[in-house]
Chain A
Amino acid sequence: MNFVEKFFEQNREKVAKGQKLHWLASTFEAFESFSFVSNKTAKARGAHFRDAIDSKRAIIVVVIALIPALLFGMYNVGWQHFNSLGQVASVGFWEMFWYGFLKVLPMIIVSYVVGLFIEFMFAQIREEEVNEGYLVTGLLIPMIVPPTTPLWQLVLAVIFGTVIGKEVFGGTGMNFMNPALVARAFLFFAYPSQMSGDMVWICDMPDGVTGATPLGEMLAGAVLPMASVCDMICGFIPGSVGETSLIAILIGACILLFTGIASWRIMLSIFCGGAVMGIIFNLIGANEYMQMPFWYHFLLGGFAFGAVFMATDPVTAAHTNCGKYIYGFLIGIMAVLIRVVNPAYPEGMMLAILLMNVFAPLIDYYVVNANINRRKKRMVSATNTK
C-alpha cells in the first residue's frame, strides 16, 4: 500500500483550491478515502473516540446483502432463456449463469459509470466529499428492470433517477424519493412497451413464445399463476433481474437485519400490511385475483424485494421509529391494493413505495408533533399548578 499512499501524498497539492486540477478534488478525496481510512482524529472537546462504522462500511453491507439476489438473478436470466427454447435439461448450470452474466453485467457497468459520474460531478460542484449512497442505488437499478431493457434507456433512467430523484434536492440524505425507484418509474411511464407485457422478461425468446410474469397472468384473469409455489419461492419465474427469488432476498434480509443496517420495523410492517390487505380481498372474494391466497403476494413480483431493499432506504422512509410502522404497513396495503384493483399495472410495489416516500415526511410530522404537544401540555399544567 506504500506506493498508493505516496501517490496521494505527492498529488494532494495539485487538486488544492486554485490549482489547475481542482476540478478533480472530490474525485481525489473519494479515491483516497476508499484506499485509506483517514488519519483524522476527534476534536479537542467532545467524544474522543468513535464507532468504527462509517458510511462506506454501512453501504458495503447493503451491497453484500444484494449479492445473493443478483447472482441468482443472473442465473435465472439464463434459465429463462434456455427454458423458452426448451433446452433447460441439456444446458449446464455454468452455461446458464454465463449467459445471464453477460446480459446483466453491461447493465451494472452502465448504471455505475453514468451514476457515479453524476455523483462525482455534483460533489465537485458543491465542493463536498462524494457520498457513497450511489453504490447501492447503482446496483439496485439494473436489478429492478427487465433483463431486456436497452442500455440507452437505462442511461436515461439513471440520469433521471439521480438528478431529479436526488441531486436537485441537495444530494444524498436530502432526497425524499428513492432514486432507484424514480429511475424505474421513469422507464415504466416513458417506455411502457419495454417495461411490461409478456415479451420483455426473457432474453432472446424464440418467435411465437410469450413469457408473462405470474403477476401479469393474474391480472389477465388466471385462476392461479402457472408456476408452482416452489418455483416462485426459488425464483424460477420471469421477472425483473433481482426480484424473482424469495430465498435469495431473504438471505439479504438476514444480513441487513442482523447487522442492523435496515429497519426491521419497516420490513415487518410491510408484510403485515400486505397480509391484512390480502386477507381482506380473500374475504371479499369478488374475482379470481381476490381469491388468490394472500401469501401469494409475497412470492409474486417485487413485493419481497421492495420490502427488503427499497422501502428500507433510511433517507426516504419515515425517520421516526413509530412512523416506520405506519409507513411500512401502508406500503403493504397499497401494494396489494394497486395490484388487485387497478386494471392497468400488474406491479403495485414500486408505486406503493414511491407514494409512501412522499407521505413519509407527513407521517413523521405527526409523530414528532405528538412529542411537541406532550411537552406543551406539560408546560401548561406546570404553570396552572403554580
Chain B
Amino acid sequence: MSKVIKIPKGLDIHLYGEASKEVKQTSESSFALKPLDCTGVTPKLLVDVGDKVQIGSPVFYIKQNPKVKFVSPVAGEITEVKRGAKRVIEEIRIKSDGSDNSVDFGKQSIAELTAEQIREKMWESGVWTLLRQRPYDIIPDADATPEYIIIKGFDSAPLAPDYNLLVKGEKAAIQVGIDALKKLTSKTLYLSMNKETDEEIASLQNVEKKTFTGRHPYGNVSVQAEKISPINKGMRIWYVNLQDLIVIGRLFLDGKYYNKKIVALTGEEVKNPCYYEVIRGTNIATLVSGNVTDKNLRYISGNVLTGMRIEKDGYLGYYDNQITVIEEGNYKEGLGWMMPGLKKFSISKTFLRGFTAFCSKKPVHIDSNMHGSQRAYIFTGDFEKVMPMDIYPMQLIKACLAKDIDRMEELGIYEVDAEDFALCEVIDVSKTDVQDIIRQGLNLMREQGL
C-alpha cells in the first residue's frame, strides 16, 4: 500500500438522505444532451428535429474542437432542440424507441491499435468528451497530450455516491479504459483512492495509486493534483471519472457506446434514497415521482455544493452521477438573524447549533435560503479554514473580481476550479457567489488564450 496523503483542512457536512446500497432499475423514454454542462462547448448540430438516431450516432461536434463529437445515448428520434437566450442551444431532446440499435465502432484490442487510432476512435464515438482538462475544466483539445492523468476514484462531497458501487463488476472494462489512455498519452495515470476504496478498484493495473484521507474537498481533482504535481502556467492535465472509464473500456471491448450509468438519488426530501441504473442524459421524472415529499422542492443534478438546479422533469447533467433533492428555501423569517438557531446549519458558533454540533455528528437540515443578502467582504480568515490548498482564497477572489489577469496567475488560478471554492461560498458571511466569481475569472483567462 502506498503512502497515505493527508488533507487535514476542509469540512465534511453531514446531511440527511444518504442513498441506501441497492441499485434499482428504471425505465424512461425521454433523454437529452445538454451542451451547457460542458464548459466552453459551442455545439454545431449534425442532426435535425425528426432525424432518427442510434446509440452512438453523432449529434453535434464542438465548434472550438471540431474533431470531437457528442453522440446520442439512445436509439430513437430527435424531438426538440431547446434554445435559450441568444439562441444558445440548451438541450437536444431525444425520444427513445426502446430498442438498443447501436452504431458499430468495431471490437478491437488496445494492443493492435496505434495511439492515433485510439484517439480517432474516441473522437468518433463521443467518449473523448468524458475526458476533462485542468485548468478550465474543459474537454481537452483533440490533438493534445497532458502531463499526467488523474482518475477520480472517489467523491467526498456531501451525500456523494459510493464509487465502489458505481463500478461494481466492471473491473475488466475499466482496465481496458486505463490501457487505452495509457497507450494514447504514454503519460502516468494516477488513480485517487480513499480508505473506503475496495479491492476491486485497488487491484487495477497500469496506474499509480494515490490514497488520500481527510475532509471534503479531498476528493477534488485540484486538491489531489496539488499533492501529485502542482499545475503550473502552461501545464495541462486531464482527469476522468472512474465510472466514465467503463464507457471508454467498453468501446474497445464491445465496439459499442455503453450508455448506462449508475446514479445516486439522495437528499433529505427523497423518501427512499438509493441508487438507480439509468441511461446517460435521462429525464429524472420517473426517478423522483412518488419518491419525494410534498414540500416546495429544489432538484439538483449533482451535489448540493456544485450541482445545477433542474426542473422536476429535467435531465441529468452530462458528468453527474448524483441527484439531490432539498427543500426550496423561499420563505421570509421574521428577525431571523436574531434567533438562537438551534437547528440552523452554521460552522460559526454564533448560533446555538454550533454548541451542540460539538458533541454530535448528527446530520443537519438544509434548504436553499441564502440567510441574508450580499455585503462587502468584512471578515477575513474564514475561507482559509476550508481551503486545503496553498492558495489565498480571498486575495484570488478579489483578483478575479478586478479581472486582474497577472494577479490571478500569480495567485494560482491555474491550480483551482470553481468547485474548490464551494465551501467558501457556503460559509461566506458576505453571501457572494464565490464559485461564479472564480468561474468568470477562469473564463477570462481561457478567452485570453492563456
User: Which A residues have a C-beta under 8 Å from some C-beta of B?
Assistant: 1, 4-5, 33, 35-58, 60-61, 129, 131-133, 171-174, 258-261, 263, 314-315, 317, 319-321, 324, 368, 371-372, 374-376, 378-379, 382
Given the known inter-chain contacts A51-B427, A259-B349, please indicate yes or no for A38 contacting B378, CB distance below 8 A: no
Residues of A within 8 A of B370 (CB): 38, 40-42, 50
User: Which B residues have a C-beta under 8 Å from some C-beta of A?
Assistant: 230, 232-233, 235, 298, 300, 304-309, 324, 326, 328-338, 341, 344-351, 354, 366-381, 384, 390-392, 394-395, 410-412, 418, 422, 425-431, 433, 435-436
Are B379 and A58 interface neighbours, CB within 8 A?
yes
Given the known inter-chain contacts A39-B331, A40-B370, please indicate yes or no for A49 contacting B381, CB distance below 8 A: no
Question: What is the CA–CA distance of A5 and B332 in the complex, to the nearest angstrom?
Answer: 9
Are A47 and B350 interface neighbours, CB within 8 A?
no
The residue that B374 contacts in the complex, of A4, A129, A324, A372, with Cβ under 8 A, is: A129
Are B366 and A49 interface neighbours, CB within 8 A?
yes
The residue that A48 contacts in the complex, of B326, B376, B392, B427, with Cβ under 8 A, is: B326
Given the known inter-chain contacts A45-B309, A49-B426, please indicate yes or no for A317 contacting B433, CB distance below 8 A: no
Are B348 and A37 interface neighbours, CB within 8 A?
no
The residue that A319 contacts in the complex, of B341, B375, B380, with Cβ under 8 A, is: B380
Are A36 and B304 interface neighbours, CB within 8 A?
no
Given the known inter-chain contacts A37-B337, A319-B380, please indicate yes or no for A55 contacting B372, CB distance below 8 A: yes
Given the known inter-chain contacts A37-B332, A58-B429, A321-B384, please indicate yes or no for A48 contacting B390, CB distance below 8 A: no
Question: What is the CA–CA distance of A47 and B436 in the complex, to the nearest angstrom?
Answer: 10
Question: What is the CA–CA distance of A45 and B439 in the complex, to the nearest angstrom?
Answer: 11
Question: What is the CA–CA distance of A275 and B371 in the complex, to the nearest angstrom?
Answer: 42
Question: What is the CA–CA distance of A180 and B305 in the complex, to the nearest angstrom?
Answer: 38
- Report which residue of B233, B350, B374, B435 has the largest number of chain A beta carbons within 10 angstroms of its beta carbon: B350
The residue that B376 contacts in the complex, of A52, A56, A171, with Cβ under 8 A, is: A171
A326 to B: closest C-beta gap in Å: 14
Are B372 and A56 interface neighbours, CB within 8 A?
yes
The residue that B346 contacts in the complex, of A40, A42, A53, with Cβ under 8 A, is: A53
Are A173 and B377 interface neighbours, CB within 8 A?
yes
Are B428 and A263 interface neighbours, CB within 8 A?
no
Are A47 and B426 interface neighbours, CB within 8 A?
yes
Question: What is the CA–CA distance of A44 and B306 in the complex, to the nearest angstrom?
Answer: 10
Residues of B within 8 A of A35 (CB): 334-335
15 new A-B pairs (CB below 8 Å) besides A38-B370, A51-B428, A258-B349? A35-B335, A36-B332, A37-B332, A37-B371, A39-B331, A41-B330, A45-B308, A49-B367, A51-B346, A51-B348, A51-B426, A53-B346, A61-B350, A317-B380, A379-B233
Residues of B within 8 A of A57 (CB): 337, 348, 350-351, 372
Are A260 and B431 interface neighbours, CB within 8 A?
no
Are B329 and A41 interface neighbours, CB within 8 A?
yes
Are A60 and B338 interface neighbours, CB within 8 A?
yes
Residues of B within 8 A of A51 (CB): 345-348, 371, 426-429
Given the known inter-chain contacts A47-B422, A173-B377, please indicate yes or no for A37 contacting B366, CB distance below 8 A: no
Residues of B within 8 A of A172 (CB): 375-376, 378
Residues of A within 8 A of B304 (CB): 47-49
Given the known inter-chain contacts A36-B333, A371-B390, please indicate yes or no for A46 contacting B435, CB distance below 8 A: yes
20 A-B residue pairs with CB within 8 Å: A38-B373, A39-B369, A41-B329, A45-B435, A49-B367, A49-B426, A50-B370, A50-B372, A50-B425, A51-B346, A51-B348, A52-B341, A173-B376, A259-B348, A259-B354, A319-B380, A319-B395, A321-B384, A376-B410, A382-B232
A97 to B: closest C-beta gap in Å: 26
- Report which residue of A41, A45, A52, A375 has the largest number of chain B beta carbons within 10 angstroms of its beta carbon: A52
Residues of B within 8 A of A60 (CB): 337-338
Residues of B within 8 A of A49 (CB): 304, 326, 329, 345, 366-369, 426
Question: What is the CA–CA distance of A375 and B372 in the complex, to the nearest angstrom?
Answer: 36
Are B381 and A46 interface neighbours, CB within 8 A?
no
The residue that B369 contacts in the complex, of A40, A55, A173, A324, with Cβ under 8 A, is: A40
Are A379 and B425 interface neighbours, CB within 8 A?
no
A70 to B: closest C-beta gap in Å: 19
* Identity of the chain B residue whose Cβ is nearest the Cβ of A173 in the assembled complex: B376
Residues of A within 8 A of B394 (CB): 319
Residues of B within 8 A of A319 (CB): 380-381, 394-395
Question: What is the CA–CA distance of A47 and B305 in the complex, to the nearest angstrom?
Answer: 4
Are B371 and A46 interface neighbours, CB within 8 A?
no
Residues of B within 8 A of A378 (CB): 230, 232
- Report which residue of B333, B369, B372 has the largest number of chain A beta carbons within 10 angstroms of its beta carbon: B372
A28 to B: closest C-beta gap in Å: 13
* Identity of the chain B residue whose Cβ is nearest the Cβ of A380 in the assembled complex: B232
Per CB-CB distance, the 6 closest pairs between chain A and chain B, nearest first, are A54-B372, A173-B376, A37-B336, A52-B344, A49-B366, A56-B337
Question: What is the CA–CA distance of A58 and B392 in the complex, to the nearest angstrom?
Answer: 23
Residues of B within 8 A of A376 (CB): 410
Are B350 and A372 interface neighbours, CB within 8 A?
no
* Identity of the chain B residue whose Cβ is nearest the Cβ of A5 in the assembled complex: B332
Are A173 and B378 interface neighbours, CB within 8 A?
yes
Question: What is the CA–CA distance of A53 and B305 in the complex, to the nearest angstrom?
Answer: 17
Question: What is the CA–CA distance of A324 and B381 in the complex, to the nearest angstrom?
Answer: 10
Are B381 and A43 interface neighbours, CB within 8 A?
no
Question: What is the CA–CA distance of A191 and B335 in the complex, to the nearest angstrom?
Answer: 41
A386 to B: closest C-beta gap in Å: 10
The residue that B371 contacts in the complex, of A54, A129, A382, with Cβ under 8 A, is: A54
Are B373 and A33 interface neighbours, CB within 8 A?
yes
Given the known inter-chain contacts A55-B429, A173-B378, please indicate yes or no for A374 contacting B390, CB distance below 8 A: yes
A175 to B: closest C-beta gap in Å: 10
* Identity of the chain B residue whose Cβ is nearest the Cβ of A42 in the assembled complex: B368
Are B368 and A48 interface neighbours, CB within 8 A?
yes
- Report which residue of A48, A54, A174, A258 has the largest number of chain B beta carbons within 10 angstroms of its beta carbon: A48
Residues of B within 8 A of A61 (CB): 350
The residue that A50 contacts in the complex, of B308, B378, B426, with Cβ under 8 A, is: B426
* Identity of the chain A residue whose Cβ is nearest the Cβ of B374 in the assembled complex: A129
Are A36 and B433 interface neighbours, CB within 8 A?
no
The residue that B309 contacts in the complex, of A4, A36, A37, A48, with Cβ under 8 A, is: A48
